[in-house]
Amino acid sequence: MLKKITAVVLAAILSFSVATPSLFAAAEGEARSKKGWPKATRSLRKNEKLCRYKFSDGERTVWICDKAVPCCEWEAIGNYVKCGTTVTGCL
């Protein structure tokens, strides 16, 4: 029984470790700077917008999202930025 539980736990850890990097990857076109507003790492395409946010530590970040979705940022989890969804917003 212990071997089965161990196998399930190891499988779960391995599958999570494969999926996790994409969850915490940088937002598309993201660039950061403490001196001024940086330029996005790529140019805007049709139906996209440039999101900008200045964190309380002075770091400025820009990233690219679709026009239909909100720009989301969280200082509480390490100055994390991403594009939201039309259904859940920034959840």
Give me the tens of pLDDT residue by residue for the chain, a chain 91 residues long.
Answer: 767 776 665 555 555 444 444 445 578 889 999 999 999 999 999 999 999 999 999 999 999 999 999 999 999 888 999 999 999 999 8
In the numeric block, the tokens 């026009």 are attached to 67
Checking 77-80 for CB contacts under 8 A at 24+ apart, the result is 79/55, 80/24
pLDDT at 3 (0 to 100): 72
pLDDT at 23 (0 to 100): 47
Residues 6+ apart with CB under 8 A from 78: none
Backbone angles phi, psi at 34, to 5 degrees: -100, -10
Rounded Cα distance, 69 and 91, in Å? 12
pLDDT at 25 (0 to 100): 59
pLDDT at 18 (0 to 100): 40
> In 9-47, where do the E strands start and end?
31-33
